[in-house]
């Protein structure tokens, strides 16, 4: 029985279990109550109490949690298989599918797609027992994430078909709606979406992927057929070097790992020599990421060798903690989807505090803040000493910063405040003035009242 309320769609499939769909933007008070910061977001209730949550489209976790709340498995049991059809009970699955159909979110829904394209996508998805929609081909993947899934399927020794979405924009855009999955690669088994790169990796590492293939009757290919391509067996999307000398291999590995975030580009960060390199530099700066770069135009050995080493034929190439992320199109797509910031966080890469942010934090670190040469106990110039004495005579508590200890702050604050000399006195983040102004206020008996008005 479907139940509709303003802003909600509910499905009751027994006396006790209900699925309720809430449009996050239309019900902001509910989103705020449950701290929803990204969609999809699932909240699980039992006996009127919120007992669990799940952020993101993770079929394995969703199936497992639904089945637990529905009572088909018990807490402490091993995680259910990744497929919702295998993890949840038949009644749970039926309810989820019916609710999804009502709202156009079920895989294969033709919402926004014409019948011709829907039929074409259905035929493609069903064309192989295991089908990978990817960027490039298994022999020449065009992104690191596609490379990873190809490597995993080869390790699983599973025969699979593939479709290069870069060759057909209609399929590339249409499949996102068809599967309700916004990124690539996408892996299907017997017409059912398993997920993208992260989910496939998790399933492979836990052994779930093998179980899914087994339960779906997908056979393991002959080991000779499944022998990995010699140029596609590297970790994290980096192929094992082929035809490279040990010296060059060691050098390339050293360069890649010389910084947590490393960009191989044309030109320098200040003077990129191609638009694609410029895009990645801009993204890294927007994300406030500290990174190093290498100008491949200055070293042809590195330029040609890295193509073989990484199995990636173009530049720029961005690496995080030694793993290839991809080129400009991949990085741009990841930034737009929010995935790039997520990857940085997962890899332990913290955003760099900008100079402006740092100056603002310093200015507000104390209600009365003095930027001076030296310290209040040991001023390094007469003007700083005079301002310190004036503040002490007024009985004013103040913080201080020695601009001689940090050239970046020393020069940056001049521009930030539009005041060329030191000392500089601030109250609640606003400039009061330098030595002359402070002494005038002190002589007139107005310094304390000015600071605390």
Say if 412 falls within a structural domain: yes
Say if 303 falls within a structural domain: yes
What is the DSSP code (8-state) at residue 21? E
Residues 245 and 338 in one domain: yes
Q: Which residue has the tokens 């391509």?
A: 229
Measure the CA–CA gap between 196 and 202, rounded to whole angstroms: 10
How confident is the model at residue 32, as a pLDDT? 65
Residue 163: domain span: 115-215
Mean pLDDT of all residues in the chain?
79
Residues 269 and 318 in one domain: yes
User: Could you read off the pLDDT of 150-168 as tens digits, one per residue?
Assistant: 999 999 999 999 999 999 9
Residues 254 and 197 in one domain: no
Q: Which of 180-189, 234-243, 366-375 has the highest mean pLDDT?
A: 366-375
Residues 247 and 340 in one domain: yes
Residues 332 and 363 in one domain: no
Residues 300 and 368 in one domain: no
How confident is the model at residue 79, as a pLDDT? 38
Q: Which of 206-215, 259-268, 331-340 has the highest mean pLDDT?
A: 259-268
- The answer to whether 108 and 178 have CB atoms below 8 angstroms apart is yes
Domain end point (choices 181, 215, 249):
215
User: Could you read off the pLDDT of 35-87 as tens digits, one per residue?
Assistant: 765 557 788 888 778 888 877 655 545 666 676 666 544 444 433 333 333 33
> Cβ of 15: how many Cβ atoms within 10 Å?
6
Residues 399 and 441 in one domain: yes
Domain end point (choices 303, 321, 346):
346
Say if 263 falls within a structural domain: yes
Residues 128 and 190 in one domain: yes
Q: Looking at the predicted structure, is the pLDDT value of residue 397 above 90?
A: yes
Say if 230 falls within a structural domain: no
Q: Name the least confident of 24-28, 335-339, 380-384, 398-402.
A: 24-28
Residues 26 and 96 in one domain: yes
How confident is the model at residue 102, as a pLDDT? 45
Domain end point (choices 317, 346, 375):
346
How confident is the model at residue 31, as a pLDDT? 67
CATH number at residue 381: 3.40.30.10
Distances (CA, A) of 318 to 10, 306, 315, 433: 45, 12, 9, 46
Residues 98 and 127 in one domain: no
Measure the CA–CA gap between 326 and 318, rounded to whole angstroms: 6
Provide, rounded to the nearest whole percent, the portion of the chain with pLDDT above 70: 75
Q: Which of 12-21, 224-233, 261-270 has the highest mean pLDDT?
A: 261-270
DSSP string, 24-61: TTT-HHHHHHTT--SSSEEEEEETTEEEEEEES--HHH
Predicted confidence band of residue 371 (pLDDT cuts 50, 70, 90): very high
User: Could you read off the pLDDT of 198-218 as tens digits, one per residue?
Assistant: 888 888 888 878 878 877 777
Question: Domain total for the chain?
Answer: 4
Q: Looking at the predicted structure, is the pLDDT value of residue 90 above 60?
A: no
Residues 335 and 362 in one domain: no
Measure the CA–CA gap between 437 and 439, rounded to whole angstroms: 5
Q: Which of 37-46, 89-98, 338-347 has the highest mean pLDDT?
A: 338-347
For 261-288, what is the mean pLDDT? 90
Q: What's the pTM? A: 0.36
Say if 227 falls within a structural domain: no
Give the three-class secondary structure for 262.
strand
CATH number at residue 59: 3.40.30
Say if 228 falls within a structural domain: no
Measure the CA–CA gap between 255 and 268, rounded to whole angstroms: 16
How confident is the model at residue 328, as a pLDDT? 86
Residues 272 and 253 in one domain: yes
Say if 143 falls within a structural domain: yes
Measure the CA–CA gap between 267 and 298, rounded to whole angstroms: 8
How confident is the model at residue 238, as a pLDDT? 40
Say if 110 falls within a structural domain: no
Q: Looking at the predicted structure, is the pLDDT value of residue 26 above 90?
A: no
């Amino acid at each position: 029985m479907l139940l509709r309320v303003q802003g909600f769609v509910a499905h009751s499939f027994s006396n006790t279990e209900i699925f309720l769909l809430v449009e996050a933007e239309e019900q902001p008070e509910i989103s705020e109550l449950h701290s929803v910061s990204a969609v999809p977001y699932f909240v699980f209730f039992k006996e009127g109490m919120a007992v669990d949550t799940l952020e993101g489209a993770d079929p394995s976790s969703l199936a497992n949690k639904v089945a637990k709340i529905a009572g088909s498995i018990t807490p402490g049991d091993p995680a259910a298989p990744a497929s919702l059809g295998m993890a949840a009970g038949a009644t749970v699955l039926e309810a989820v599918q019916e609710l999804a159909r009502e709202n156009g979110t079920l895989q294969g829904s033709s919402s926004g797609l014409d019948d011709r394209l829907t039929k074409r996508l259905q035929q493609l998805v069903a064309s192989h027992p295991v089908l990978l929609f990817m960027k490039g081909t298994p022999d020449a993947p065009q992104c690191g994430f596609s490379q990873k899934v190809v490597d995993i399927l080869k390790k699983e020794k599973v025969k699979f078909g593939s479709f290069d979405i870069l060759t057909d924009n209609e399929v590339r855009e249409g499949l996102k709606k068809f599967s309700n999955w916004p990124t690539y690669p996408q892996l299907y088994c017997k017409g059912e979406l398993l997920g993208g790169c992260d989910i496939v990796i998790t399933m492979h590492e836990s052994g779930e992927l093998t179980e899914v293939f087994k339960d779906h009757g997908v056979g393991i290919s002959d080991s000779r057929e499944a022998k990995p391509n010699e140029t596609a067996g590297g970790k994290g999307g980096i192929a094992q070097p082929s035809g490279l000398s040990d010296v060059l291999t060691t050098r390339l590995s050293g360069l890649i790992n010389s910084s947590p975030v490393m960009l191989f580009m044309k030109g320098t960060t200040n003077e990129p020599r191609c638009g694609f390199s410029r895009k990645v530099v801009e993204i890294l700066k927007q994300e406030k990421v500290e990174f190093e770069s290498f100008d491949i135009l200055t070293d042809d050995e590195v330029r040609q060798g890295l193509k073989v080493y990484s199995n990636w034929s173009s530049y720029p190439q961005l690496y995080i903690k030694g793993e290839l992320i991809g080129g400009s199109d991949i990085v741009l797509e990841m930034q737009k989807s929010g995935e790039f910031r997520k990857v940085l966080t997962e890899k332990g890469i913290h955003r760099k505090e900008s100079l402006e942010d740092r100056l603002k934090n310093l200015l507000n670190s104390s209600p009365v803040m003095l930027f001076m040469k030296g310290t209040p106990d040991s001023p390094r110039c007469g003007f700083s000493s005079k301002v310190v004495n004036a503040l002490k005579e007024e009985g004013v508590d103040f913080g201080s910063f020695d601009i001689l200890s940090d050239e970046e702050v020393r020069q940056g604050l001049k521009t930030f405040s539009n005041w060329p000399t030191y000392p500089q006195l601030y109250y609640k983040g606003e400039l009061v003035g330098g030595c002359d102004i402070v002494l005038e206020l002190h002589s007139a008996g107005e310094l304390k009242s000015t600071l605390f008005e």
